[in-house]
Amino acid sequence: MGKVKIDPLVFWSSLVVIVVATLSLVIFRKSAEPVMNKMMTGITYNLDWVFQFLTFGVFILLVWLVFSKYGKVRLGDEAPEFSTFSWGAMLFCAGMGTSIMFWSMMEPMYYYMGPPFGIEPNSTQSAEWAVAYGMFHWGISAWSLYALPTVTIAYSFFVKKNRSLKISTACKGVLGKYADGPIGKLIDILVIWSLVGGLGTSLGLGVPMVSAVIGEIFGVQQSLQLSIIIIVIWTIIYSASAYMGLYKGIRKLSDWNVYLALGLALFVLITGPTLFILSNFSNSFGLMLQNFALMSFSTDPIAKGGFPQAWTVFYWAWFAATAPFIGLFVARISRGRTIRELIVHILLWGSLGSWIYFGIFGGYTLNLQLTGALNVVDVLNNSGGPSTIVEILKTMPLDFLVLPFFAVLAFIFLATSLDSATYILSAIATKELIGDQEPARWHRMLWGAILAVLAISLLMIGGLKVIQTSSVIVSVPVILLYVLLTLSLLRWLKQDYPDTSLVYKTAMDEELVQESKAKE
């Protein structure tokens, strides 16, 4: 099928934007940081209602697609490329990374200290909401923001046979020829920047956490050198996985990741306060379901406590900024699935994994605080999140095994996100991909090296937080992308599947899939 070629305009423009923007933000960090923080505060407080209506509206649209006649539409004529387990493992690992490991323990404590709805801090009522709000933030709403771009991109790639794995191409249903022009290039560059910023957030959480755990294991102090060594090891892991490609590398790494993650969760559940964890999970899950609408739309305009803006709106903005990347990757691995199957599995796989982690690790941490086994709040206030993670892990049975196991899992968790990211970065900057073609290996490795150098540079000069903030600011134009992706998908569906042809086409798709399975 010939060699894949890079898109020089997207590749070099993205590279220049990343380097110039990063250097500018870092060189002028002292003056840029307050401006960026002010912009982010303005976004979360003035556009809170926009992000909330966007997130809930996307969820309603997805539910409609699942139960509509379009739910049966198959994305491609072939049978699915991956088993359901491997497929679900890859989409979950790409979406969560090390963030879920950190926040599943820390987030409930922040809610315990600073609860919503004017509840008294450090009270029984704040303890009840602690895990519930974490499950809400990392549940169906978050995965809805990931699911919509996925469906449109998958439809563009597998049904419309557009040979480019780009957000701009997925907007062709609305933009038409303009998707291939300057507007389309601008969209792709914006997506690459939001992806790099999102990875900065993951590295900003992951590196200090793993550094603290490894420092505890080997009895060494946290240092810049240790963090750089960790980034280099990460780079070797995810670059090797990305080099082997989607089928041999990323799929296997994601499978191992899920096995290890479930193993650790089961260990904590069995050896920890099992009955409390299960009981608190049930209570938190019920509280979340009962108050789902309130939590989705709360802006606290009277008391102005700031909880919805600092947490819910920030999360929706962060997830929206990284959603194009998740959508591109999950769309690429979803050939042969129906629209209904794709949406349901994204929402259920993603939400279930998040709920399990928050229920078990959040419940365990909350129990330490409530029983007095460890004053998590004091450790968090005095020593910060990474050190608190270490102290929590040290309270577990067989902690001398738990600590290295946790470190290995964190390595693999972030590696699965990063190798997915290098794959997608190279795909966006590639002209076209036909059939099972993948981006060139040197191209994948190059983006892996760029991310590593960027991470080490930012770590050395302390500019990681500014990049994280900028990724959230990028989410504002991403709102427009959601509109374009939605209109593009609906226009394509209406054009391609009028009432008279949908039943016949669906039957033909089923026959082709059955024939493909029989040949295998």
Q: What angle do CA 206, 349, 249 make, to 5 degrees?
A: 60
Instruction: Find how far residue 77's CA is from the centre of its chain.
Output: 28
Which pLDDT score is estimated for 245?
55
Token pair for 200: 């900065």
Token pair for 169: 């191409």
Burial track 415-452 (b if 16+ CB lie within 10 A, e otherwise): bbbbbbbbbbbbbbbbeebeeebbbeeebbbbbbebbb
Asked whether the beta carbons of 131 and 108 are under 8 A apart, the reply is yes
pLDDT tens by residue, 77-114: 888 888 888 888 777 776 676 778 888 999 999 999 99
Which pLDDT score is estimated for 51?
94
Q: If you average pLDDT over every residue of the chain, what do you get?
A: 84
Q: What angle do CA 194, 199, 203 make, to 5 degrees?
A: 150
Which pLDDT score is estimated for 242?
61
Q: Specify the pTM.
A: 0.88
Surface-to-core class of residue 77, CB atoms within 10 Å of its CB (0-12 exposed, 13-18 middle, 19+ buried): middle
Which pLDDT score is estimated for 520?
47
Which pLDDT score is estimated for 467?
62
Which pLDDT score is estimated for 243?
62
Token pair for 264: 């650790």
The number of CA neighbours under 13 Å toward the Cβ of 231 is 27
Which pLDDT score is estimated for 1?
40
Which residue ranges of the chain lie beneath pLDDT 50? 1-2, 500, 504, 519-520
- Under 8 Å CB-to-CB from 307, ≥6 apart: which residues? 114, 115, 116, 117, 298, 300
Asked whether the beta carbons of 493 and 70 are under 8 A apart, the reply is yes
The number of CA neighbours under 13 Å toward the Cβ of 467 is 33
Which pLDDT score is estimated for 251?
67
Asked whether the beta carbons of 292 and 41 are under 8 A apart, the reply is no
- Give the percent of the chain with pLDDT over 70: 86
pLDDT tens by residue, 322-350: 888 788 888 888 888 999 999 999 998 88
Closest C-alpha among 481, 171, 489, 491 to residue 342: 489
Percentages helix, strand, coil for the chain, rounded to the nearest 5? 80, 0, 15
3-state secondary structure of 33: helix
Which pLDDT score is estimated for 291?
96
pLDDT tens by residue, 354-368: 999 999 999 999 999
